[in-house]
Chain A
């Protein structure tokens, strides 16, 4: 446990000492802000953060791998991984420490964007239930995307490879309905079950990505279901485990 904290603390410090965190935060605030404004500026708009959530969910497909791409790839490139792996510290401690650091960064960024909620309370009367369930969903969603990004970062010593593979996996999971819609029966249902977010229907400004499908849709509507939580938690766990395995496999090569 102590090693996990040590690693997480170091990575958080590194985030703040590089321009990455600031650039990504700015982009995140910009994009979520755009979606938020677009969703509440209609004449009879509802006072909700659905638009904001749609923007966040969409942007995290790229933001999460961008935040995690450095974490393991850089250690491999600089040879510091050899040092970590010859220290009395286990692979899962390294992976968890780094994951926690990336999650804390995402939480900070999300925190910065939450003045939207304040705006809603000042000018409207938002429903608190969907608001909280949406934020819970966003947290779970962020964890899953970061785990995928961390896994991609462990694959090579090249950060760009990490970014592309990570975003690639997340995009594939997001647009999986393109395939499932064209299938019927069990195959279609199984693929639907893997749908990450709410697909590119986020670009449909009428429904703001909360229309149909995807494990995120219910959270945005104020519904917390066990299957959605289980999906994100398992996705996180599986990819963190895979990351640990990739690091362990490095020893046996």
Chain B
């Protein structure tokens, strides 16, 4: 559905995206992962026909984004990073207008509007001014305009940024649901989000694609160590650490120094530790077993997912070594 071949995009002398190639097939949900300024938004703007590529060929549904820009724009639904809303219109008026400028006729709009409003759960805010909506509902309104005209391809730039955690969960659910009917390209800088929603992840850094894989394999590949947060009672630090080091899969154990954790530990009277272990060895179970066997109190045991910063460090250092 989306095909990018050797695409580069520069703003004046500044390259934003350098020679990237990838393809998104029909029905795929692809996550575009990268830090701010990596080139995510630029790539999406090229795909939506907002800005032409400096070099390379980009096609959507078989149409070239430069020579057949209008055809491309008919086939995509786009949610930019800053949700584009007219604050002085009601939700219904706004969506009607969006439908009209997408070339929908009024009977089609009439048919789709209640469906879409139902999908994004905006029913009770149908006649509210967009400017009065909370951030999460504005986001939903933005998603509604992107799917109203039943596009083949949906492109969402940071769809969950800046909304509260409960709404983030709901929005992610909504996006996963949409993924069943649409080809979806979404960008994010939050790894768990991408792993939860997407069937494939593209990691972009400094304008280049540094990884292209499904989310599980990506973290497996990158995660050389599994990190576990453990809180115990009734044991002093040196004893616990030496006990941990005796477990075969454990690489290292140390006291957790993070301020918030330490404060809570003092209040609730437990000792916090961080244990690094080799991945895929059921390290958590082994750690728990050791704690129980020794008769200590186990108050918390949480495997910590690798953060995006760590993944980036990982990817960029590997690349540096290769150079």
Q: Interface of A with B (CB < 8 Å)?
A: 2-3, 6-7, 10, 13-14, 17-18, 78-90, 251-253
Cα separation A3 to B11 with both chains bound (whole Å): 31
Residues of B within 8 A of A87 (CB): 73, 101-103
Interface size on B, residues (CB 8 A): 31
CB-CB nearest in chain B for A89: B101
Q: Is the interface of A mostly helix, strand, loop or mixed?
A: helix
A244 to chain B minimum Cβ distance, whole angstroms, is 15
The contact string, 1 if C-beta is below 8 Å from chain A, for chain B 97-121, is: 1101111000000000000000000
Q: Are A88 and B84 in contact, CB atoms less than 8 angstroms apart?
A: no
Q: Are B88 and A78 in contact, CB atoms less than 8 angstroms apart?
A: no
A77 to chain B minimum Cβ distance, whole angstroms, is 10
* Partner-contacting stretch, out of B47-55, B182-190, B244-252: B47-55
Q: Are A252 and B51 in contact, CB atoms less than 8 angstroms apart?
A: yes
Cα separation A87 to B84 with both chains bound (whole Å): 13
CB-CB nearest in chain B for A90: B70
B154 to chain A minimum Cβ distance, whole angstroms, is 12
Residues of A within 8 A of B48 (CB): 86
Residues of A within 8 A of B70 (CB): 88, 90
Q: Are B50 and A86 in contact, CB atoms less than 8 angstroms apart?
A: yes
What are 11 residue pairs bridging A and B, where the CB atoms are less than 8 Å apart in the complex? A3-B101, A17-B88, A82-B78, A82-B84, A83-B80, A83-B98, A84-B101, A86-B78, A87-B101, A251-B50, A252-B52
Residues of A within 8 A of B89 (CB): 14
Residues of A within 8 A of B235 (CB): none
Cα separation A90 to B103 with both chains bound (whole Å): 12
Cα separation A103 to B1 with both chains bound (whole Å): 42
For residue B85, CB closer than 8 A to chain A, the reply is yes
Cα separation A10 to B89 with both chains bound (whole Å): 10
Residues of B within 8 A of A79 (CB): 80-84
Q: Are A86 and B49 in contact, CB atoms less than 8 angstroms apart?
A: yes
B264 to chain A minimum Cβ distance, whole angstroms, is 41
The interface centre, meaning the residue of A18, A81, A82 with most chain B CB atoms within 10 A of its CB, is: A82
For residue B171, CB closer than 8 A to chain A, the reply is no
For residue B304, CB closer than 8 A to chain A, the reply is no
Cα separation A89 to B84 with both chains bound (whole Å): 16
Query: From residue 48 to 85 of chain B, which have CB atoms closer than 8 A to chain A?
Result: 48-52, 70-71, 73-74, 76, 78, 80-85
Q: Are B102 and A78 in contact, CB atoms less than 8 angstroms apart?
A: no
Query: From residue 140 to 178 of chain B, which have CB atoms closer than 8 A to chain A?
Result: 145
Q: Are A78 and B101 in contact, CB atoms less than 8 angstroms apart?
A: no
9 extra A-B contacts, CB within 8 A, seeds A88-B73, A88-B103, A251-B52 = A3-B103, A81-B84, A82-B78, A83-B80, A83-B98, A86-B50, A86-B73, A88-B71, A251-B50
Query: From residue 1 to 59 of chain B, which have CB atoms closer than 8 A to chain A?
Result: 11, 45, 48-52
Q: Are A82 and B50 in contact, CB atoms less than 8 angstroms apart?
A: yes
For residue B86, CB closer than 8 A to chain A, the reply is yes
Cα separation A83 to B83 with both chains bound (whole Å): 9
A174 to chain B minimum Cβ distance, whole angstroms, is 33
CB-CB nearest in chain A for B98: A83
For residue B87, CB closer than 8 A to chain A, the reply is yes
Cα separation A83 to B85 with both chains bound (whole Å): 9
Q: Are B80 and A82 in contact, CB atoms less than 8 angstroms apart?
A: yes
Cα separation A245 to B35 with both chains bound (whole Å): 33
A75 to chain B minimum Cβ distance, whole angstroms, is 9
Residues of B within 8 A of A80 (CB): 84-86
Query: With A78-B87, A85-B50 in contact, is A6–B76 under 8 Å at CB?
Result: no
